[in-house]
Structure formats: C-alpha cells, structure tokens
Amino acid sequence: MEYRNKMVLAPMVRAGTLPFRLLAAEYGADITYGEEIIDHKFVNCQRVINESLGTTDFVERGTDSVVFRTCPQERDKVVFQIGTSDAVRALKAAEIVCNDVAAIDINMGCPKAFSVSGGMGSALLSKPELIHDILTTLRRNLNTPVTCKIRLLNTRQDTVELARRIEKCGVPALAVHGRKVKDRPRDPAKWDEIADVVSALSIPVIANGNVFEYEDFKRIKDATGATSVMAARGALWNASIFSAKGKVPWEDFKTEYVRKTILWDNDIKSTKTTLREIIMHYICLEGTEGKGVIKCGSSADVARLYGEEDYYNFVVSNRK
C-alpha cells in the first residue's frame, strides 16, 4: 500500500459498505476505508466465499448476518478499520480478514458513546501505552500494513507528541481528523493543527476535515503539507467529489449508488442510511422521496421506489 499523494474515502458507519466503496473508487478514490467494525463482533465471524455475488463475506456465526463484504476488484484499495481496546482481540480480528484487504486501520478518533464507552475510538487518545501495545502487536504478527486514524487532542503539543509516539510504532501512515473530540461536524476543521503534525513526522499524513469539493483536496494539502487527503461527508453526499472531471449531478450519483446496492446485495439498513444522508443534504427527508426510503424494507422496495425494477429483476435472475 502506497500512502503518498492519495485521495481517500473515510470510514463511515453504515455508509462505507462495498457498493459505496466501489463507486468512490470508480470516481477516483485511491484508497477506500470500510466502516468501523468492532473486534468483539468480528472475532465471531467466519469467512465465506459468496459464489453468487463473487464476493468474500465475513458472516457472524450462527446467523446469516454479513458483517463485512469485499471483492477482488477492491483488493488493493480497501482498508479494514477495527474498533478495539485490546491488542490480542484486535489481532484475532485482523487475522481473519488481513489476506483479503490492502491494510488494517485502528479507529482512534470516533467520539460516539458506543465506541468511547467500550474504551475504543477517541478513548484511546488518552492511553498511549495501549495504543503502542495494539499497533506493535499487529505489526509484529501481520504482513498487512497497519495504520490508525486519530483526532486532535486538547493542545497542539499533545497532538504532536502522540503522533510521534505512533510513528515510533512503525506505522506507514497516520490519518488525522482536524477536529477535537468536543467539536461538532459543523465546527471548522483546524487545518493549521494538522500542519503541526505533518511538520513533526516523516511518515505520510492523511489530512481529514472540511473536504467538500474536488478543489478542497489541493487546498488542504497546500494548507497542511499533508501528502494525502481523506473525504467523509463530502464524499457521502456525492462520491464524484473524487473525480477530476467535476461532480456529477447528485441525482445521477444517487441512481448509480442505488444500482450498486442492488448489484452487490447491500444490507438494507446501510442502503437506507446512505440514501437518507444524501436526501437530507440536498432536499428534505420529510418529502415524498425521504418518506419512501424510510418505508423500504428490502432492496426490491428500493428498486421500486427509484424505478429500477427491471434492473433489479435482471440482476437477481442472473445470479448464480
């Protein structure tokens, strides 16, 4: 995995599943992160080859629930992100999937209660010894690259000090979200504080925060000195943000996304979450389309809502 001069799709809960990752890659994303997967759940998964779809599925034992789905087309781009608070458990989870992905990443930035309450995500930022234990354990035992994604700490000095400690663990790159735990998405990202990290490290830094247009990739690189840039909400609302040709109309992007979810038999909860985010950004969730998405209970329902019944029937009838 090469981390320099890359445009990166950020990890996004429920949105970053296979259809969205592949669509982002088609538009120009060089690296695509999957959504955070909690190690407790993943260690109970088994690897299954899905011949009907041509995918590799990681299915929760005793159920038919697909926790993570990937395919050969994204093998050299996809990053599997783990939510963890334990080095041994993180390694066990990583060993299950490491041969099917390009890299493993440890989430050290999520501020959501479900993550922090388990000692994961941004809770790790105050535990440098545990960070060292997790990263070095994975690096010693895996041939797959291991990285992590952090947020800014309370002071510039604290952020730089932690970044230096992470670099000493031997990771090939570090992603930095330019907001602090207490910040909200509407708060502007602090690109100047990302620049402090870039100046202090020799490894590639992936800058994240306030990337909403293709031109923002260059703007944040110029402002921070970061070698690579990660987009989250800007990509969620229209993944063609990665295209040098310019963004396609959001309705066209939405149609492509719906078709991809049908083709790859995406989890309906993931599909609905992503569509709701797109609709809320551009129009209103309380309108006819938004209410229609909320009512959908299956991919067939989504296909009917968006006039893709013929495509749905063609795809389903041609599965092995």
**pLDDT at position 60:** 97
- Select from 9, 11, 15 the least CA-distant residue to 29: 9
Distances (CA, A) of 264 to 17, 52, 108, 295, 299: 10, 10, 30, 21, 10
Judged on CB neighbours under 10 Å (0-12, 13-18, 19+), 308 is buried
110 is known as an active-site residue: yes
Distance CA 13, CA 294 (A): 18
Which parts of the chain have pLDDT scores under 70? none
**pLDDT at position 114:** 79
Predicted confidence (pLDDT) per residue in 288-307, tens digit:
999 999 999 999 999 999 99
Predicted confidence (pLDDT) per residue in 117-141, tens digit:
899 999 999 999 999 999 999 999 9
**pLDDT at position 112:** 84
**pLDDT at position 282:** 96
Judged on CB neighbours under 10 Å (0-12, 13-18, 19+), 199 is exposed
All structural domains of the chain with their residue ranges: 6-242, 250-318
CATH class of 6-242: alpha beta
Q: What is the pTM of this model?
A: 0.96
**pLDDT at position 205:** 98
CB 71 within 8 A of CB 17: no
**pLDDT at position 272:** 98
Choosing from 45, 71, 98, 110, the catalytic residue is 110
